[in-house]
Amino acid sequence: MLSQARTFARASRLLSRFVKAKSPANATTPVAAWALAPLSRAAYKTSAPVSAAPPPPSPTPLAKMSDNFIDGTSAAYLEQLEMQYAKDPASVPRSWANYLNALGSTTPDALAEGYANYQKGQAAAAPAAAPAADAVTHQTIQESMRLMLLVRAYQVNGHMKSNLDPIGLDKRPRVIELEPSLYGFTEADLDREFFLGTWRMKGFLSEDRPVRKLRDIVKRLEEAYCGSIGYEYMHVPDRDRCNWLRERIETATKKSYSADRKKRILDRLAWGTMFENFLSTKYTAAKRFGLEGGETLIPGMKAMIDKAAELGVESIVMGMPHRGRLNILGNVVRKPLSHIFNEFQGGVRPDKEGGYTGSGDVKYHLGTSFDRPTHSGNSIHLSLVANPSHLEAVNTLVLGKVRAKQFYMGDENRSKSMPLLLHGDGSFAGQGIVMETLDMSGLPDYTVGGCIHIVVNNQVAFTTNSKTTRSTEYCTGVAKGMDVPIFHVNGDDAEAVSHVFELAAEWRQAWKCDVVIDLVCYRKFGHNEIDEPSFTQPLMYEIIRKHKDAHTQYCEKLLAEGTMTQQEIDSLHKMISDTLADEFEKGKDVKSQKRNWLTSYWAGFKSPDQLSKVQSTGIPRDSLMKIGKCISEIPDTVRMHRGVKKVYDTRAKMLASGEGIDWATAEALAFGSLMLEGNHVRLSGQDVERGTFGHRHAVIHDQKTDEEYTPLANLYEGQPPGMFTVTNSSLNEFGVLGYELGYSMENPDSLVIWEAQFGDFANGAQVIIDQFISSGEAKWLRQSGLVLLLPHGYDGQGPEHSSARLERFLQMSDEDPNTVPNMDRETRTQIQSCNWQVVNITTPANYFHCLRRQLHREFRKPLIVMSPKNLLRHPEAKSTLDEFDDIEPNDMQGSRFRRLIMDDSASSREMDPPPELGFKKVIFCSGKIYFELSAERAKLGLQDSIALCRVEQLCPFPFDLCARELRRYPNAQVQWCQEEPMNMGAWSHVLPRFFPIMKSAGRSIEHEFSYAGRKVSAATATGFGELHAAEQASVIAQAMTLKE
């Protein structure tokens, strides 16, 4: 043990630090290095004003300054100062006088009177004799500091001594930091009284706490920090937040529940336990990923929901993995138990009329939503988001959905809608998306006012022990880096679980920031009910087999303390058993299930089986000019960079002349037009405010003040804040794309766009694309109109800046290539029947109509855009203002999106156009390569021999329009041209679709349909500039070659 002198010296050092800078931050930082990890003073923040620092104490003589620190120098100085103060309070600096008076150190009544006189500027009275040696007034400065260190040790490390593991496998070393003897206290000191009051602190260190014996202080510290709950919060660099927690943790007496509350906890625990038991009896061989071993989650969550509703929360959106999902659906969200039992029996597909006939998903992936009454008489809307087996993937979807709810509810302080995420211990520590989720918590356009995270800690991940799943003491260690408080709780203590869950709800509503609950429990069976866990955890499961469940333990506790009788418990159990049996019988006759997790905003939207007609997307010319003025005329008070000013000046000229409308202008016109129609527009991604390629400049930065001006945020008078949101995201794809998908699912009247920095980086979010966007409607009957802008194009930038992997999106489309769909204008449902749309657009006007089309229909589909790079400023990639308005041209196209753009020489859009017999070749292509083909064709003078048709929409495929072009050019060779390698791009998608098209035209695809493009390749593109140019020239040459 350290010597007393060393203890005194270190205590003195800390106390002198306190005096030197008496700020709220420093009041909580003093701690010996051997007791606790040091806390950075610079990083320590406070929410309250800081008073001016008091004058420093008298300097130590130079001779004494040469002493070694661990000698008694500092202690001697403090003792001398104390004695000097006892003689005359006016003889010591005011800061020390204030501090010594607060401690009551050797201060009898007369000395206190002298202190009071000193404060008034009067002469100090002589002090009376000191009281008995065992009185509080004989508490020395050193003892006070040592006691403060002991309290802080409990606050920081008390969780290390907590009883957290219900099965007792977590054997921890002795926590010497929590032993009073380390701080110089002996058995004789335990019955001495001490005062701990410290300025602007709460809990044990509060100024208003009574004098207490050391024995009582230690006992209460043990109860508060070393029981069934372990708190980690001292890493939070905010005094007021820490004090808020201390007030609730360090209460004068131990918290206890009333008899009624205990009965309610048992009722909820019994439902959770008996539900699992019922399923295990009825479906012995079924995978259900039950909650056995963690059943206290149910009363905990219900207590949390009650508390949240009491504090003003109206809606909770939840995301969770498969473990315990069915229990939460039935007992927390209140999904009818008969429906859950029906799903075990195979379920039924929804009636086709007015419904969906998708692929469906396993029962433990499904979502739902209900309005649930609370115990206090309130009502709260609960929704559980459907998710795949990819653990943690649903996290940011939940956040995005909550943020959208807050926008539409006008919930500016984020008190009415709250996210709740459940995690597994292995995934919380191991999945990177967890950190991406936590990182969003404080970002201005992503924050949701705090998320409650619940880690259902099985202490094993599938078959992997915790020691091989993380490097931290706890699975929640990652959250400490984001200043999030963590509450560890023993899953067998039902009352402690309920308390912690309520505390988390209070924290979230009070501080609008994240909080983590670590529910330490166990998994009664293996990863699923038919798995054998003893293969890999034999000792753990030997203990678990003998372990009483939490429900049994709590029944015994309530019986022992007389809260309930055996008859009352038996009656409760019978009621639950009878209800489960009745619901089981009802489940046999359950009919089709409605999409009961859709919000009212989606009422009236149509399924793929219901007809929705094509609508015009042009807008009146006066609306175009109103938007044009907003996006081109910037107030003089905004001092723009000269390069940005040039962009806006050029835009103004475009709009004035109606010629040369570029990509960014068309996009801004689309955004503005949708907003004028009452729709919300949100664009996010890396660098989207300026645009990766410097073309958008949606946010202008004042060059003198750095203030931001967003033109479209000032489109019309009375425009709600956030109606147009454009925001740069954090540097990740997975989390942000998931967030925007969740945002898009809340309200169909919103255009939500995620733009990748380069399309190549979209595969960082592949889980979201594969598991949610491409298949979410088929699996879960959820529509989304989310737009992905993925910059794509081969221009010599290498294999990581060329391809958005167009082939992957096309491969995942669910369109049948062998069946030509009905394309009658009045009855076609091609887009409705497909899982998403994939486009590769070549004109600004077509981009404008494509974006507007997303909202001008009675259904929603994801839109994947292979957005351009060098076409953003290409002189030929321009449109006229006439192509944007709502004046119908004299042809069948109308003012809407063009799925295929004919050759410049073609004029008729009739489905049976006059044949053009002189053309020898018709090339179908998509994207920017059209402009290279067109330039080479003009150079060679082949405009009358080669026709170029641009396929703007690749999925669903324009069968009808491609067939029309074959009828237009009956004598022409047919070729597909692309700049991607043959095993990439659209070739493998286009080829099978041309089989029925060629067959219908009476032509042989084997002899008349050819390919022009790069050869197969493992890499998307070459990194050598000269090789790229040679390859590109070869592709163009292939296309321009005519067979004799």
Q: Which of 400, 380, 409 is nearest to 448 (CA)?
A: 400
CA distance 905 to 916: 10
Q: Is the peptide bond before 956 cis (omega within 30 degrees of 0)?
A: yes
Please determine, for residue 909, whether its predicted confidence score (pLDDT) is greater than 80: yes
For tokens 């229909």, the residue is: 857
- The arithmetic mean of pLDDT across residues 142-170, rounded, is 91
Q: Is the pLDDT of residue 409 over 90?
A: yes
C-alpha to C-alpha distance for 205 and 972, rounded to whole angstroms: 90
Does residue 58 surpass a pLDDT of 70?
no
Query: 246-274: string of b/e by CB count within 10 Å (b at 16+)?
Result: bebbbeeeeeeeeeeebbbbbebbbbbbb
Angle between helices 141-157 and 73-87 (to 10 degrees): 120
Of 69-78, 383-392, 720-729, 744-753, which gets the smallest average pLDDT?
69-78
For residue 45, what pLDDT band results from cuts at 50, 70 and 90? very low
Cα separation, 654 vs 690, in Å, equals 20
Band of the pLDDT at 121, cuts 50, 70, 90? low
Mean pLDDT of 372-390: 85
Average pLDDT of the residues in 857-877: 94
With both helix axes pointing from N to C terminus, report the angle between 844-853 and 663-676 in degrees, rounded to the nearest 10. 30
Q: 3-state DSSP call for residue 430?
A: helix
CA angle 215, 219, 225 (to 5 degrees): 145
Q: How confident is the model at residue 356 (pLDDT cuts 50, 70, 90)?
A: low
Residue 227: its pLDDT value, please?
A: 95
Enclosing H/E stretch for 279: helix 259-282
Could you write out the three-class secondary structure of 366-386? CCEEEEEECCCCCEEEEEECC
State pTM to two decimals: 0.85
Beta-ladder partners of 1010? 975
In percent, the amount of the chain with pLDDT more than 70 equals: 83
Using the predicted structure, report yes or no on whether residue 64 has a pLDDT greater than 50.
no
Q: What SS3 class is residue 681?
A: strand
Q: Which is more confident, 613 or 64?
A: 613
Report the amino acid identity of residue 87: K
Judged by average pLDDT, the poorest of 388-392, 689-693, 1004-1008 is 1004-1008
Name the range with the highest mean pLDDT among 74-78, 383-387, 556-560: 556-560
Listed in sequence order, the residues at least 6 apart from 428 whose beta carbon sits closer than 8 Å to its beta carbon are 392, 434, 453, 455, 475, 476, 478
Q: Which residue has the tokens 């669903």?
A: 956
Per the DSSP assignment, residues forming a β-bridge with 452 are 420, 515
153: enclosing H helix or E strand: helix 141-157
Q: What's the whole-number mean pLDDT along residues 662-683? A: 97
Sheet of 921-925, strand order: 900-901, 946-951, 921-925, 973-981, 1009-1014
* DSSP codes of every residue in 894-963: -SS--SEE--TT----SSSPPP-TT--EEEEE-STHHHHHHHHHHHHT-TTTEEEEEE-EEES--HHHHH
CA distance 247 to 503: 12
Reply yes or no on whether the pLDDT at 130 is more than 50. no
pLDDT at 123 over 70: no
Residue 109 DSSP code:
H
Provide mean pLDDT across the span 806-818: 94
Task: Inform me whether the pLDDT recorded for 333 exceeds 50.
Answer: yes
3-state secondary structure 223-240: HHHCCCEEEECCCCCEHH
* Phi–psi pair at 1034, nearest 5 degrees: -65, -40
Find the mean pLDDT for residues 281-292: 78
Whether 469 and 429 have beta carbons less than 8 Å apart is answered as: yes
Does 976 have pLDDT greater than 70?
A: yes
Q: Of the segments 276-290, 325-339, 583-597, which one has the largest average pLDDT value?
A: 325-339
What is the token pair recorded at 213? Answer: 């014996």
pLDDT for residue 106 is more than 90: no
Q: Which two tokens stand for residue 948?
A: 């170029």
List the single range of 366-375, 433-442, 695-704 with lowest mean pLDDT.
366-375
- Using alpha carbons, select from 386, 397, 384 the residue that is nearest to residue 358: 386
Residue 49, CB-side half-sphere exposure with 13 Å CA sphere: 2
Backbone angles phi, psi at 146, to 5 degrees: -65, -35
Average confidence score pLDDT of the chain? 85
**Furthest-apart CA pair in the chain: how many Å?**
123
Give the per-residue pLDDT at 933. 97
Percent of the chain's residues with pLDDT above 90? 61
Q: Distance (Å, rounded) from C-alpha 196 to C-alpha 148?
A: 7
Instruction: Check pLDDT > 70 for residue 993.
Output: yes
In 679-718, the DSSP E strands lie at 680-685, 700-701, 708-709
CB atoms within 10 A of CB 532: 11
Among 136-145, 672-681, 727-736, 1018-1027, name the one with the lowest average pLDDT: 136-145
Lowest average pLDDT, out of 36-45, 571-580, 737-746, goes to 36-45
Q: What pLDDT does residue 405 have? A: 96
For the record, the structure tokens of 188 come out as 């004789």
Which three-class secondary structure state does DSSP give residue 423? strand
The closest of 385, 495, 482, 486 to 779, measured between CA atoms, is 385
Residue with tokens 């793929």: 608
Q: Cα-atom radius of gyration of the chain, to the nearest Å?
A: 36
Residue 675: pLDDT over 70: yes
The number of helix segments (H) and strand segments (E) in the chain equals 34, 26
Collapsed DSSP state (helix, strand, coil) of residue 1014: strand
Q: What is the distance between the alpha carbons of residues 698 and 727, in angstroms, rounded to a whole number?
A: 9
Mean pLDDT, range 32-56, rounded to an integer: 38
Give the strand pairing for 953-955 and 837-839: antiparallel
Minimum mean pLDDT range among 412-421, 472-481, 599-608: 599-608
Of 107, 254, 135, 251, nearest to 191 by C-alpha is 135
- Residue 164: pLDDT over 70: yes
Lowest average pLDDT, out of 521-530, 617-626, 844-853, 879-888, goes to: 521-530
> Distance between CA 587 and CA 582 in Å, rounded?
9
| pLDDT value for 17 | 41
pLDDT at 68 over 50: no
For 710, the token pair is 């967003």
- Mean pLDDT (whole number) for 884-906: 80
State the DSSP H helix or E strand holding residue 434, giving kind and residue range, or none if neither.
helix 432-439
Residue 514 contacts residue 453 (beta carbons within 8 Å): yes
CA angle 625, 630, 634 (to 5 degrees): 135
Minimal CA–CA distance to 944: which of 901, 913, 905?
905
- Helix orientation angle between 239-249 and 494-511, rounded to the nearest 10 degrees: 150
**Per-residue pLDDT at 210:** 65
State the pLDDT confidence band at 765, using cuts at 50, 70 and 90: very high
Residues 428/455, Cβ–Cβ less than 8 Å: yes
pLDDT recorded at residue 641: 96
Nearest to 928 by CA among 1021, 792, 807, 787: 792
Give the residue from 383, 287, 273, 280 showing the smallest Cα distance to 335.
383
